[in-house]
Structure 1
Amino acid sequence: MIAGTWQSLGPALAEALQQVKAERGPVVEVGAGTGRGIRAICAALPGDDPVLAVEPSSAMRAVLLARVHDAPELRERVTVLAEDAVHAPLPDGLRAMVAVNVLGHLPPAERRALWGSASLRLAPGGALVVGVTPPFVPERVPRTRMASAAVGALRYEGWATAEPSGEDEITWHMDYHVLREGRLLSEVTVDYRWWVASESRLAAEAAEAGLVMRPAGKPDLGLYLLTRPGE
Protein backbone atom coordinates (compact mmCIF):
# COMPACT_ATOMS: atom_id res chain seq x y z
CA MET A 1 0.00 0.00 0.00
CA ILE A 2 2.98 2.30 0.36
CA ALA A 3 3.99 1.85 -3.28
CA GLY A 4 2.29 5.09 -4.37
CA THR A 5 4.20 7.10 -1.76
CA TRP A 6 7.52 5.78 -3.02
CA GLN A 7 6.79 6.94 -6.57
CA SER A 8 7.68 10.45 -5.43
CA LEU A 9 9.69 9.63 -2.30
CA GLY A 10 12.14 7.32 -4.10
CA PRO A 11 13.45 9.96 -6.56
CA ALA A 12 13.52 12.56 -3.76
CA LEU A 13 15.58 10.26 -1.56
CA ALA A 14 17.94 9.59 -4.45
CA GLU A 15 18.35 13.34 -4.98
CA ALA A 16 19.09 13.86 -1.28
CA LEU A 17 21.71 11.11 -1.30
CA GLN A 18 23.42 12.75 -4.25
CA GLN A 19 24.14 15.69 -1.92
CA VAL A 20 26.19 13.50 0.43
CA LYS A 21 29.84 14.48 0.11
CA ALA A 22 31.37 11.25 1.41
CA GLU A 23 32.24 9.05 -1.56
CA ARG A 24 32.77 5.71 0.18
CA GLY A 25 31.61 3.82 3.24
CA PRO A 26 28.74 1.60 4.40
CA VAL A 27 25.16 2.85 4.13
CA VAL A 28 22.47 2.09 6.72
CA GLU A 29 18.69 2.35 6.52
CA VAL A 30 16.96 2.15 9.88
CA GLY A 31 13.33 1.07 9.71
CA ALA A 32 13.87 -0.41 6.24
CA GLY A 33 10.33 -1.81 6.11
CA THR A 34 9.68 -3.96 3.06
CA GLY A 35 12.72 -2.70 1.16
CA ARG A 36 11.52 0.04 -1.16
CA GLY A 37 13.97 2.46 0.40
CA ILE A 38 16.83 -0.03 0.10
CA ARG A 39 16.14 -0.36 -3.61
CA ALA A 40 16.24 3.43 -4.02
CA ILE A 41 19.43 3.74 -1.95
CA CYS A 42 21.33 1.13 -3.95
CA ALA A 43 20.24 2.72 -7.24
CA ALA A 44 21.30 6.18 -6.07
CA LEU A 45 24.64 5.03 -4.64
CA PRO A 46 25.91 2.32 -7.00
CA GLY A 47 29.06 0.41 -6.15
CA ASP A 48 30.12 -2.35 -3.79
CA ASP A 49 29.95 -0.52 -0.45
CA PRO A 50 27.84 -2.60 1.95
CA VAL A 51 24.28 -1.60 2.78
CA LEU A 52 22.65 -2.55 6.10
CA ALA A 53 18.85 -2.80 6.24
CA VAL A 54 17.69 -2.56 9.86
CA GLU A 55 14.10 -3.73 10.44
CA PRO A 56 12.71 -5.11 13.75
CA SER A 57 9.29 -6.20 12.40
CA SER A 58 9.39 -9.88 11.41
CA ALA A 59 6.47 -9.45 8.98
CA MET A 60 8.09 -6.55 7.13
CA ARG A 61 11.50 -8.20 7.32
CA ALA A 62 10.18 -11.28 5.53
CA VAL A 63 9.12 -9.15 2.54
CA LEU A 64 12.37 -7.15 2.75
CA LEU A 65 14.53 -10.28 2.67
CA ALA A 66 12.55 -11.74 -0.25
CA ARG A 67 12.93 -8.47 -2.19
CA VAL A 68 16.69 -8.41 -1.55
CA HIS A 69 17.14 -12.09 -2.44
CA ASP A 70 15.28 -11.79 -5.73
CA ALA A 71 17.48 -8.93 -7.00
CA PRO A 72 21.11 -9.95 -7.69
CA GLU A 73 22.31 -6.35 -7.41
CA LEU A 74 20.83 -6.21 -3.90
CA ARG A 75 21.62 -9.76 -2.77
CA GLU A 76 25.37 -9.24 -3.17
CA ARG A 77 25.38 -5.99 -1.21
CA VAL A 78 22.54 -5.77 1.34
CA THR A 79 22.57 -7.33 4.81
CA VAL A 80 19.24 -7.50 6.66
CA LEU A 81 19.41 -7.00 10.44
CA ALA A 82 16.59 -7.79 12.87
CA GLU A 83 17.52 -5.16 15.47
CA ASP A 84 15.87 -1.78 16.01
CA ALA A 85 17.32 1.65 15.24
CA VAL A 86 18.96 2.07 18.65
CA HIS A 87 20.38 -1.40 19.29
CA ALA A 88 21.60 -2.42 15.82
CA PRO A 89 25.39 -2.98 15.69
CA LEU A 90 26.47 -0.32 13.19
CA PRO A 91 29.96 0.19 11.77
CA ASP A 92 31.93 3.42 11.88
CA GLY A 93 32.73 5.48 8.79
CA LEU A 94 29.19 5.51 7.41
CA ARG A 95 28.71 7.23 4.08
CA ALA A 96 25.04 7.75 4.87
CA MET A 97 22.30 6.77 7.28
CA VAL A 98 18.66 6.88 6.16
CA ALA A 99 15.66 7.11 8.50
CA VAL A 100 12.49 7.69 6.47
CA ASN A 101 8.99 6.89 7.82
CA VAL A 102 10.51 5.88 11.14
CA LEU A 103 11.11 8.89 13.44
CA GLY A 104 7.59 8.76 14.87
CA HIS A 105 8.20 5.20 16.09
CA LEU A 106 11.02 6.45 18.33
CA PRO A 107 10.34 7.96 21.78
CA PRO A 108 12.31 11.18 22.36
CA ALA A 109 15.15 9.40 24.21
CA GLU A 110 15.61 6.91 21.37
CA ARG A 111 15.39 9.71 18.81
CA ARG A 112 18.24 11.50 20.58
CA ALA A 113 20.19 8.24 20.62
CA LEU A 114 19.79 8.08 16.84
CA TRP A 115 21.25 11.60 16.46
CA GLY A 116 24.15 10.64 18.71
CA SER A 117 24.81 7.41 16.85
CA ALA A 118 24.86 9.22 13.52
CA SER A 119 27.16 11.94 14.82
CA LEU A 120 29.66 9.34 16.07
CA ARG A 121 29.55 6.98 13.10
CA LEU A 122 29.29 9.18 10.01
CA ALA A 123 32.42 9.41 7.88
CA PRO A 124 33.76 12.89 7.06
CA GLY A 125 31.24 14.32 4.62
CA GLY A 126 28.65 11.68 5.53
CA ALA A 127 25.01 12.53 6.22
CA LEU A 128 21.85 11.32 7.92
CA VAL A 129 18.74 11.60 5.73
CA VAL A 130 15.46 11.72 7.67
CA GLY A 131 11.81 12.04 6.79
CA VAL A 132 9.64 14.39 8.87
CA THR A 133 5.88 14.13 8.36
CA PRO A 134 2.83 15.67 10.06
CA PRO A 135 1.26 15.90 12.50
CA PHE A 136 3.88 17.91 14.39
CA VAL A 137 1.82 18.35 17.56
CA PRO A 138 -0.56 15.96 19.36
CA GLU A 139 -3.82 16.50 17.51
CA ARG A 140 -6.73 14.49 16.14
CA VAL A 141 -6.43 13.19 12.59
CA PRO A 142 -9.86 12.44 11.02
CA ARG A 143 -10.44 9.03 9.49
CA THR A 144 -8.93 8.96 6.02
CA ARG A 145 -8.32 6.33 3.40
CA MET A 146 -4.53 6.34 3.19
CA ALA A 147 -4.07 3.78 0.42
CA SER A 148 -5.95 1.58 -2.01
CA ALA A 149 -4.51 -1.07 -4.33
CA ALA A 150 -5.95 -3.80 -6.53
CA VAL A 151 -4.21 -7.18 -6.84
CA GLY A 152 -6.02 -9.57 -9.12
CA ALA A 153 -9.72 -9.65 -8.24
CA LEU A 154 -9.20 -8.21 -4.75
CA ARG A 155 -8.84 -4.66 -3.51
CA TYR A 156 -6.81 -3.74 -0.45
CA GLU A 157 -7.51 -0.56 1.50
CA GLY A 158 -5.82 1.14 4.42
CA TRP A 159 -7.77 3.57 6.64
CA ALA A 160 -6.24 5.69 9.40
CA THR A 161 -7.28 7.98 12.20
CA ALA A 162 -5.36 9.28 15.20
CA GLU A 163 -6.08 10.72 18.64
CA PRO A 164 -3.78 12.57 21.06
CA SER A 165 -2.52 10.17 23.72
CA GLY A 166 0.20 12.10 25.55
CA GLU A 167 2.21 15.30 25.73
CA ASP A 168 4.30 14.38 22.68
CA GLU A 169 2.39 11.51 21.13
CA ILE A 170 -0.68 10.33 19.28
CA THR A 171 -2.13 6.87 18.79
CA TRP A 172 -2.79 5.79 15.23
CA HIS A 173 -5.76 3.48 14.59
CA MET A 174 -5.25 1.61 11.32
CA ASP A 175 -7.92 -0.49 9.57
CA TYR A 176 -6.87 -2.76 6.70
CA HIS A 177 -9.65 -4.10 4.45
CA VAL A 178 -9.70 -6.76 1.78
CA LEU A 179 -12.66 -6.43 -0.62
CA ARG A 180 -14.04 -8.28 -3.62
CA GLU A 181 -16.44 -6.35 -5.84
CA GLY A 182 -17.08 -3.97 -2.94
CA ARG A 183 -17.80 -6.75 -0.43
CA LEU A 184 -15.63 -6.85 2.68
CA LEU A 185 -13.82 -10.18 2.97
CA SER A 186 -11.56 -9.47 5.94
CA GLU A 187 -10.46 -6.67 8.23
CA VAL A 188 -7.44 -6.19 10.48
CA THR A 189 -7.13 -3.36 13.00
CA VAL A 190 -3.82 -2.17 14.43
CA ASP A 191 -3.15 0.56 17.01
CA TYR A 192 0.30 2.01 17.63
CA ARG A 193 1.93 4.97 19.36
CA TRP A 194 3.56 7.73 17.32
CA TRP A 195 5.79 10.43 18.81
CA VAL A 196 5.40 13.86 17.24
CA ALA A 197 7.91 16.70 17.00
CA SER A 198 8.25 19.92 15.04
CA GLU A 199 11.07 20.64 12.63
CA SER A 200 12.52 23.18 15.07
CA ARG A 201 12.52 20.69 17.92
CA LEU A 202 14.21 18.02 15.79
CA ALA A 203 16.80 20.55 14.64
CA ALA A 204 17.52 21.51 18.27
CA GLU A 205 17.93 17.86 19.28
CA ALA A 206 20.26 17.24 16.35
CA ALA A 207 22.30 20.32 17.26
CA GLU A 208 22.84 18.89 20.75
CA ALA A 209 24.51 15.92 19.03
CA GLY A 210 26.64 18.18 16.84
CA LEU A 211 24.56 17.93 13.67
CA VAL A 212 23.12 20.63 11.43
CA MET A 213 19.69 19.98 9.86
CA ARG A 214 18.64 21.43 6.50
CA PRO A 215 15.83 20.68 4.01
CA ALA A 216 16.58 18.37 1.09
CA GLY A 217 14.26 18.58 -1.91
CA LYS A 218 10.61 19.57 -2.12
CA PRO A 219 9.14 20.73 1.22
CA ASP A 220 5.98 18.60 0.89
CA LEU A 221 8.06 15.38 1.07
CA GLY A 222 9.67 16.37 4.38
CA LEU A 223 13.20 15.15 3.70
CA TYR A 224 16.10 16.64 5.65
CA LEU A 225 19.86 16.21 5.54
CA LEU A 226 21.80 16.18 8.82
CA THR A 227 25.55 16.74 8.69
CA ARG A 228 28.34 17.95 10.90
CA PRO A 229 28.90 21.72 10.72
CA GLY A 230 30.86 22.69 7.62
CA GLU A 231 30.37 19.35 5.84
Structure 2
Amino acid sequence: MSDYREYAGSAEYLHLLSAPMWADLGPRLAAALGGVDAGAGPVLELGPGSGLGTDVLLDAVTNDLALVEPSAELRAVLLARLADRGATDRATVLPCTATGAPLPDRLAGAVGLHMVGHLAPPVRAALWADLALRLARGAPVVLNVQPPAAAVEVPVTPWSGPTVGALTYEGRGRATPTGPDSVRWRMDYRTRRGDAVLATATAEYGWWILTAEGLADELAAAGFTPTVDDDLVVAVAPGA
Protein backbone atom coordinates (compact mmCIF):
# COMPACT_ATOMS: atom_id res chain seq x y z
CA MET A 1 0.00 0.00 0.00
CA SER A 2 1.31 3.43 -0.95
CA ASP A 3 1.24 6.50 1.32
CA TYR A 4 1.79 8.78 -1.67
CA ARG A 5 0.34 12.19 -0.72
CA GLU A 6 1.57 14.65 -3.35
CA TYR A 7 -1.93 15.16 -4.71
CA ALA A 8 -3.74 15.20 -1.36
CA GLY A 9 -4.39 18.94 -1.50
CA SER A 10 -5.32 19.12 -5.17
CA ALA A 11 -7.54 16.04 -5.60
CA GLU A 12 -10.72 18.11 -5.23
CA TYR A 13 -9.71 20.21 -8.25
CA LEU A 14 -7.82 17.92 -10.63
CA HIS A 15 -10.73 16.28 -12.42
CA LEU A 16 -12.41 19.60 -13.25
CA LEU A 17 -9.21 21.34 -14.28
CA SER A 18 -7.87 18.40 -16.33
CA ALA A 19 -11.03 17.60 -18.28
CA PRO A 20 -10.62 20.18 -21.10
CA MET A 21 -7.29 18.74 -22.33
CA TRP A 22 -8.95 15.38 -23.02
CA ALA A 23 -10.94 16.85 -25.91
CA ASP A 24 -7.71 16.59 -27.92
CA LEU A 25 -5.88 13.85 -26.05
CA GLY A 26 -8.76 11.38 -25.82
CA PRO A 27 -9.14 10.72 -29.58
CA ARG A 28 -5.36 10.44 -29.97
CA LEU A 29 -5.20 7.86 -27.19
CA ALA A 30 -8.12 5.90 -28.64
CA ALA A 31 -6.44 5.82 -32.05
CA ALA A 32 -3.18 4.56 -30.53
CA LEU A 33 -5.08 1.68 -28.90
CA GLY A 34 -6.73 0.58 -32.13
CA GLY A 35 -4.59 -2.54 -32.51
CA VAL A 36 -4.89 -3.91 -28.98
CA ASP A 37 -5.40 -7.69 -28.91
CA ALA A 38 -8.53 -8.44 -26.90
CA GLY A 39 -7.14 -11.85 -25.91
CA ALA A 40 -3.63 -10.81 -24.89
CA GLY A 41 -4.37 -9.86 -21.28
CA PRO A 42 -5.36 -6.66 -19.47
CA VAL A 43 -4.37 -3.15 -20.47
CA LEU A 44 -2.29 -1.33 -17.87
CA GLU A 45 -2.83 2.32 -17.00
CA LEU A 46 -0.22 4.01 -14.85
CA GLY A 47 -1.41 7.04 -12.87
CA PRO A 48 -5.04 7.19 -14.03
CA GLY A 49 -5.88 9.88 -11.47
CA SER A 50 -9.61 10.55 -11.52
CA GLY A 51 -10.09 8.34 -14.57
CA LEU A 52 -10.33 10.68 -17.56
CA GLY A 53 -8.00 8.42 -19.53
CA THR A 54 -9.70 5.35 -18.08
CA ASP A 55 -12.93 6.50 -19.72
CA VAL A 56 -11.13 6.36 -23.07
CA LEU A 57 -9.74 2.89 -22.33
CA LEU A 58 -13.14 1.52 -21.34
CA ASP A 59 -14.59 2.70 -24.66
CA ALA A 60 -11.58 1.84 -26.87
CA VAL A 61 -10.79 -1.72 -25.76
CA THR A 62 -12.71 -4.72 -24.46
CA ASN A 63 -9.84 -5.96 -22.25
CA ASP A 64 -9.85 -5.85 -18.50
CA LEU A 65 -7.91 -2.92 -17.04
CA ALA A 66 -5.17 -2.80 -14.40
CA LEU A 67 -5.15 0.74 -12.99
CA VAL A 68 -2.15 1.74 -10.85
CA GLU A 69 -2.90 4.87 -8.79
CA PRO A 70 -0.80 5.72 -5.72
CA SER A 71 -2.93 8.65 -4.46
CA ALA A 72 -5.66 7.59 -2.05
CA GLU A 73 -7.59 10.79 -2.70
CA LEU A 74 -7.58 10.27 -6.47
CA ARG A 75 -8.41 6.57 -6.06
CA ALA A 76 -11.57 7.61 -4.23
CA VAL A 77 -12.68 9.63 -7.25
CA LEU A 78 -11.59 6.92 -9.68
CA LEU A 79 -13.44 4.13 -7.87
CA ALA A 80 -16.61 6.21 -7.60
CA ARG A 81 -16.53 6.97 -11.32
CA LEU A 82 -15.90 3.31 -12.20
CA ALA A 83 -18.89 2.34 -10.08
CA ASP A 84 -21.06 4.96 -11.79
CA ARG A 85 -20.02 3.54 -15.18
CA GLY A 86 -20.77 -0.02 -14.11
CA ALA A 87 -17.14 -0.91 -14.88
CA THR A 88 -16.07 -2.47 -11.60
CA ASP A 89 -16.11 -5.92 -13.20
CA ARG A 90 -13.45 -4.88 -15.74
CA ALA A 91 -11.14 -2.61 -13.76
CA THR A 92 -8.77 -3.49 -10.91
CA VAL A 93 -7.44 -0.43 -9.05
CA LEU A 94 -4.03 -1.07 -7.49
CA PRO A 95 -3.03 1.25 -4.59
CA CYS A 96 0.63 1.33 -5.61
CA THR A 97 3.28 3.36 -7.36
CA ALA A 98 4.24 2.55 -10.94
CA THR A 99 7.27 0.58 -9.78
CA GLY A 100 5.66 -1.08 -6.77
CA ALA A 101 2.59 -2.64 -8.33
CA PRO A 102 2.06 -6.42 -8.68
CA LEU A 103 1.55 -6.34 -12.43
CA PRO A 104 0.01 -9.16 -14.47
CA ASP A 105 2.51 -11.45 -16.17
CA ARG A 106 1.06 -10.61 -19.59
CA LEU A 107 -0.29 -7.27 -20.81
CA ALA A 108 -2.07 -6.28 -24.02
CA GLY A 109 -1.03 -2.64 -23.76
CA ALA A 110 0.17 0.06 -21.39
CA VAL A 111 -0.75 3.71 -20.96
CA GLY A 112 0.88 6.39 -18.81
CA LEU A 113 -0.30 9.95 -19.41
CA HIS A 114 0.74 13.00 -17.38
CA MET A 115 2.89 10.87 -15.07
CA VAL A 116 6.30 10.10 -16.64
CA GLY A 117 7.90 13.18 -15.06
CA HIS A 118 7.35 11.68 -11.61
CA LEU A 119 9.87 8.94 -12.41
CA ALA A 120 13.63 9.41 -12.14
CA PRO A 121 15.69 8.26 -15.15
CA PRO A 122 16.89 4.96 -13.58
CA VAL A 123 13.34 4.19 -12.45
CA ARG A 124 12.02 4.79 -15.95
CA ALA A 125 14.66 2.53 -17.49
CA ALA A 126 13.73 -0.30 -15.11
CA LEU A 127 10.02 0.20 -15.82
CA TRP A 128 10.45 0.11 -19.62
CA ALA A 129 12.54 -3.07 -19.34
CA ASP A 130 9.88 -4.70 -17.16
CA LEU A 131 7.07 -3.74 -19.52
CA ALA A 132 9.03 -5.11 -22.49
CA LEU A 133 8.96 -8.53 -20.82
CA ARG A 134 5.24 -8.44 -19.95
CA LEU A 135 3.70 -6.91 -23.08
CA ALA A 136 2.44 -9.09 -25.91
CA ARG A 137 4.34 -8.84 -29.16
CA GLY A 138 3.25 -5.69 -31.00
CA ALA A 139 1.31 -4.30 -28.02
CA PRO A 140 1.17 -0.49 -27.81
CA VAL A 141 2.67 1.64 -25.08
CA VAL A 142 1.22 5.16 -25.01
CA LEU A 143 3.01 7.86 -22.99
CA ASN A 144 3.28 11.62 -23.09
CA VAL A 145 5.54 14.39 -21.86
CA GLN A 146 4.68 17.76 -20.37
CA PRO A 147 6.44 21.12 -20.26
CA PRO A 148 8.87 22.53 -19.45
CA ALA A 149 11.29 20.97 -21.94
CA ALA A 150 14.27 22.29 -19.93
CA ALA A 151 15.02 22.96 -16.27
CA VAL A 152 14.02 26.63 -16.33
CA GLU A 153 11.97 28.91 -14.13
CA VAL A 154 8.29 28.81 -15.10
CA PRO A 155 6.51 32.03 -14.04
CA VAL A 156 3.21 31.70 -12.26
CA THR A 157 0.33 31.09 -14.67
CA PRO A 158 -2.97 33.03 -14.47
CA TRP A 159 -5.82 31.64 -12.42
CA SER A 160 -8.19 29.55 -14.54
CA GLY A 161 -10.88 26.94 -14.09
CA PRO A 162 -14.55 26.10 -14.53
CA THR A 163 -17.66 27.25 -12.71
CA VAL A 164 -19.85 24.58 -11.16
CA GLY A 165 -23.15 25.89 -9.89
CA ALA A 166 -22.45 29.10 -8.00
CA LEU A 167 -18.76 28.36 -7.37
CA THR A 168 -15.63 28.67 -9.50
CA TYR A 169 -12.76 26.19 -9.09
CA GLU A 170 -9.40 27.57 -10.20
CA GLY A 171 -5.76 26.63 -10.31
CA ARG A 172 -2.42 28.17 -11.19
CA GLY A 173 1.16 26.89 -11.16
CA ARG A 174 4.82 27.80 -11.23
CA ALA A 175 8.04 25.80 -11.38
CA THR A 176 11.55 26.30 -10.02
CA PRO A 177 14.65 24.42 -11.23
CA THR A 178 16.10 21.94 -8.74
CA GLY A 179 18.86 20.51 -10.94
CA PRO A 180 20.01 20.25 -14.55
CA ASP A 181 17.10 17.96 -15.44
CA SER A 182 14.47 18.59 -12.79
CA VAL A 183 12.08 21.24 -11.46
CA ARG A 184 9.72 21.55 -8.52
CA TRP A 185 6.15 22.52 -9.26
CA ARG A 186 3.95 24.46 -6.86
CA MET A 187 0.27 24.36 -7.73
CA ASP A 188 -2.22 26.64 -5.98
CA TYR A 189 -5.98 26.11 -6.01
CA ARG A 190 -8.96 28.09 -4.79
CA THR A 191 -12.73 27.90 -4.67
CA ARG A 192 -14.52 31.21 -4.90
CA ARG A 193 -18.01 32.63 -5.06
CA GLY A 194 -17.71 35.92 -6.87
CA ASP A 195 -14.78 37.71 -5.26
CA ALA A 196 -15.05 35.73 -2.01
CA VAL A 197 -12.51 32.88 -1.68
CA LEU A 198 -14.13 30.01 0.22
CA ALA A 199 -11.29 27.46 0.18
CA THR A 200 -7.66 27.13 -0.90
CA ALA A 201 -5.21 24.27 -1.39
CA THR A 202 -1.60 23.77 -2.45
CA ALA A 203 0.32 20.87 -3.97
CA GLU A 204 4.08 20.62 -4.52
CA TYR A 205 6.01 17.89 -6.30
CA GLY A 206 9.28 17.23 -8.08
CA TRP A 207 9.29 16.71 -11.84
CA TRP A 208 11.96 15.17 -14.08
CA ILE A 209 12.44 16.95 -17.40
CA LEU A 210 11.98 14.77 -20.47
CA THR A 211 11.33 15.55 -24.12
CA ALA A 212 9.29 13.34 -26.43
CA GLU A 213 12.44 12.54 -28.39
CA GLY A 214 14.28 11.63 -25.20
CA LEU A 215 11.43 9.38 -24.10
CA ALA A 216 11.43 7.71 -27.51
CA ASP A 217 15.17 7.05 -27.17
CA GLU A 218 14.63 5.42 -23.76
CA LEU A 219 11.92 3.15 -25.14
CA ALA A 220 14.05 2.22 -28.15
CA ALA A 221 16.88 1.25 -25.80
CA ALA A 222 14.44 -1.15 -24.08
CA GLY A 223 13.57 -2.80 -27.40
CA PHE A 224 10.42 -0.88 -28.32
CA THR A 225 9.76 0.75 -31.69
CA PRO A 226 8.61 4.30 -30.85
CA THR A 227 6.83 6.98 -32.87
CA VAL A 228 6.68 10.61 -31.74
CA ASP A 229 3.49 12.62 -32.28
CA ASP A 230 4.16 16.04 -30.75
CA ASP A 231 3.90 15.40 -26.97
CA LEU A 232 2.70 11.81 -27.42
CA VAL A 233 5.01 8.81 -27.79
CA VAL A 234 3.48 5.56 -29.05
CA ALA A 235 5.79 2.56 -28.92
CA VAL A 236 5.31 -1.01 -30.15
CA ALA A 237 6.48 -3.77 -27.81
CA PRO A 238 9.02 -6.31 -29.03
CA GLY A 239 7.14 -9.15 -27.33
CA ALA A 240 8.59 -12.30 -25.78
Shared fold per TM-score greater than 0.5: yes
Q: 1:82 to 1:229 in 2, by over 3 A?
A: closer
**Correspondences of 1:1-231 after superposition (within 5 Å):** 1-18=17-34, 20=35, 22-24=37-39, 25-45=41-61, 47=62, 49-72=63-86, 74-145=87-158, 147-216=160-229, 219=230, 222-228=231-237
Per-residue CA deviations over 1:106-161 (Å, capped at 9, x if unaligned) read 11121112211221111012111001122121011111137401111110101001
Q: Contact conserved, 1:2 with 1:147, CA < 8 A, in 2?
A: no
Deviation at 1:204, TM superposition (A): 2.2
Q: Whole-Å Cα distance in 1 between the matches of residues 71 and 81 of structure 2?
A: 15
Code of the aligned partner of 1:141: V
2:198 partner amino acid: L
Identity score, percent: 41
- Counterpart residue type for residue 132 of structure 2: S
Amino acid at match of 1:199: A
The count of corresponding residues between Structure 1 and Structure 2 is 222
Runs (5+) with no aligned partner, structure 1: none
2:158 partner SS:
strand
Aligned amino acid, residue 85 of structure 2 = A
Contact (CA 8 Å) 1:27, 1:52: kept in 2 or not? Answer: yes
Two-structure CA RMSD over aligned residues (Å): 1.6
List alignment gaps of at least 5 residues for structure 2: 1-16
Q: Scaled by the length of structure 1, what TM-score is found?
A: 0.90
Secondary structure, aligned partner of 2:147: coil
Q: Normalized against structure 2, the TM-score is what?
A: 0.87
Q: What is the CA distance between 1:199 and its match in structure 2?
A: 2.5
Q: Residues of 2 paired with 1:58 and 1:153: CA distance?
A: 28
CA deviations on 1:38-86 (whole Å, 9 max, x unpaired) are 11111011x2x210111000010100010111111x1220111101111
* C-alpha separation in 1, matches of 2:97 and 2:74: 13
- Give, as a single letter, the amino acid of the residue that structure 2 aligns with 1:153: A
SS in 2 for 1:94: coil
